Structure 1
Amino acid sequence: MTIEGRHVVILSGGISHERDVSLRSGRRVSDALIKAGARVTVREPDEKLLPWLEQHFEDVDVVWPVLHGVSGENGALYSLLRALEVPYVGSRPTAAMLAWNKATSKALVKRAGIATPQSIVLPNDTFRELGAASVIDAISKGVDFPAVVKPVEGGSSQGVSFVNEKAEFSRAMVTAFTYSDGVLIEKKVTGTELMVGVLDFGEGPFAVPPVEVVPHSGVYDYAARYNAGETTFFAPARVSEAVLAEVSELAVKACQVIGLADVARVDFIVDESGKPWFIEADPIPGMTETSLVPLGIQAAGLEVSDVYARLAEHAAARGPRNTPATPNLVV
């Protein structure tokens, strides 16, 4: 099967905080697939989508959700596509859910022997029940400074704050709770930020060259991710061959442990000793002009349109119910 002439439906937009990024990703994927010869329809994930998919079931070869944020990355949409027996690019619903929750994905990779920073996870209810002041006092004794406070569910570095002392926790918690009902407080690892794209065309997952990000502000936040000129990217990363190999191997292992399929991104920080620390995994990575997976694909000497075509071909041929099984791991 080839993608030429096949009908690919790209889902982008949505109502999450990451809507604009999703729209940009959708346009880039659409352009690449059109270049590869596919027929492409771009749709919003709205109340008309599921009836439309049922109505056009015979004409749709594969759906590619490029939805960032909770509306696409928590696995719910994948469940509905599977229920309708519509082939799609992406992981099983359970795997997406595991990756979407940073605490869960950290627990899974830690059990598999991959280092991840010390952390505490707290729901909003804990602060109401035990009192914010008491909880913050306990946190400050349990996590080393400097620390990172982030929504336990979310992407694009939205709601992330760096905390250098106890007095800064309150504002950081309020910011994180804007995006999620839970927060993850994590020891900050200082070092080189590497993002690794992992692809699978049906012959097993493999990593493209890790990309090093150097934000001009010193923080790889939302603006640094998506505003041109805010960050310098190095693909492949400026680290030793040994570190490149290790991070690539760990990225593939993390995807296998979590159960991610087709295309994903795994983020690490390599400390001054050369040790990689797992930060998070993204089940639907950005595909914008400043996103990391396309940069890694190009660094591998691959054509982006060919890679996207192969991902869509593989998903269409596989069908909706044959994505790799999520490992039966107990967190």
Structure 2
Amino acid sequence: MGLKIAVIAGGAFEAERSLAAANDVMAALKEAEHEPELFQADGSLIDDLLRARPDAAISCLRGGDGESGDIQDALSAIGLPCVGSSAAVCRLAYDKAALAEALQAYHNLTEDVVTATVPQTLTFSRRAFELWGMEAMLSQVESRFSDSFPLCVKPASGSSAHGVSRVEDAEQLAEALREALKICERALVQPWVDGVQLCVPVIGTGWNAFALPPVEIVTKEGWYDAAARQASDAVELHVPVRNASLSPSEADAQAIRAEIERAVLETYRALGMRDCGCIDLIWDGAQAIILEAVANPCFSAEAPFAQAAKAAGLTLPNLLNELVESALDA
């Protein structure tokens, strides 16, 4: 007999996409002979869960609703096992500014040479702008990155590239920072990185975790911004990444892919992620530059996670069944 599984969707961020993913998850769970039930992430969510008493939960919430650790905290408080990482790990992964420190701590712990790289970053808080003004902040950026345009400005915590800007010159910088700080309390400024855009899903925990085939993301126009992520016809996914995108030599391409997967697993372990997740990065021709980690991936059938699983010969029903079992054993 299957388990009663709460599938949580809706929320304040990309609710329609969340519900679409939930429908795919429910269909897969039914195929795996479980009993899924959809729960809306509204003011009655906890009361509804307490009444229904499911065995486990899967969150299909998007953005901060699903990635910031808040829903994981709430489910933990009522003793409901949830697929994925703990609330503390979700909060850490959601903070893009924490990546460098987490990787350094991982290096110090393991004494391994770390393959993963993060962009050089300046972090500015909303409070700093209020205290010292925009001009003082801009002068720091111009001093650090004087010859580095274009730049990337983004919220320290955010999803789906909302609030992310490509800044071509100093004149665009102030407005980009204001936009990023509308999303959260801190903004990051980094050199813009060009290269092969990749999303690499990971399954498992600790040293038993393994990377699924890297998903190459190719935009039909421009860069992989918020608009491109919203439009289903704006990007092409290649699963796995095409060898020719990495190197003209097939042998070199395979070696590069192995290096990418190593960098992904380093990041996943450094953050303490468990069960499943996705690491977004760019291969710039020389190294894997980590952009962000998503501890609560989208399980939609069209999303990179399910596509990579399919390429690896894993069906979504079997995969979700294993993830639920792992959550129950945590």
Q: Which one of the candidate residues 259, 278, 292 is aligned to 1:265?
A: 278
Q: Which residue of 2 aligns with 1:251?
A: 264
Structure 2 unmatched runs, 5+:
108-113, 247-252
1:40 has 2:36 as partner: yes
Q: Which one of the candidate residues 15, 18, 24 is aligned to 2:20?
A: 24
1:145 has 2:158 as partner: no
TM score, norm. by length of structure 1 = 0.89
Name the amino acid aligned to 2:77. Answer: A
Q: Which residue of 2 aligns with 1:228?
A: 232
1:291 has 2:285 as partner: no
Deviations 1:53-85 (A, max 9, x none): 22232xx11111111122221112212212211
Name the amino acid aligned to 2:262. Answer: E
Distance 1:182 1:118 in 2: 16
Deviations 1:252-296 (A, max 9, x none): 2211110111110001111123x1111110011223344211111
Query: Over the residues paired in the alignment, what is the CA RMSD in angstroms?
Result: 1.8
Q: Which residue of 2 aligns with 1:212?
A: 216
Q: How does 1:140-179 map to 2 (within 5 A)?
A: 140-143=142-145, 144-179=148-183
Q: Which residue of 2 aligns with 1:115?
A: 117
Distance 1:107 1:23 in 2: 35
Q: Which residue of 1 aligns with 2:72?
A: 78
Distance 2:162 2:268 in 1: 23
Distance 1:203 1:255 in 2: 10
Misfit runs of 4+, over 6 Å: none
Change (3 A) 1:205 1:259: same
Change (3 A) 1:77 1:201: same
- Whichever structure has more helix as a proportion of its residues is 2
The CA deviation at 1:11 is: 0.7
What secondary structure is seen at the aligned counterpart in 1 of 2:183?
coil
- The answer to whether the 8 Å contact 2:7/2:36 transfers is yes
Q: Which residue of 2 aligns with 1:303?
A: 315
What secondary structure is seen at the aligned counterpart in 2 of 1:232?
strand
1:100 has 2:100 as partner: no
1:88 has 2:100 as partner: no
- The answer to whether the 8 Å contact 2:205/2:273 transfers is no
Deviations 1:281-318 (A, max 9, x none): 001122334421111111112212211121122213x1
Name the amino acid aligned to 2:284. Answer: D
Name the amino acid aligned to 1:42. Answer: L
- The answer to whether the 8 Å contact 2:121/2:188 transfers is yes
- The answer to whether the 8 Å contact 1:215/1:232 transfers is yes
The CA deviation at 1:19 is: 2.5
Distance 1:36 1:289 in 2: 15
Structure 1 unmatched runs, 5+:
323-331
- The answer to whether the 8 Å contact 1:226/1:291 transfers is no
Name the amino acid aligned to 1:158. Answer: H
- The answer to whether the 8 Å contact 1:137/1:166 transfers is no
What secondary structure is seen at the aligned counterpart in 2 of 1:131?
helix
TM score, norm. by length of structure 2 = 0.89
Distance 1:102 1:158 in 2: 14
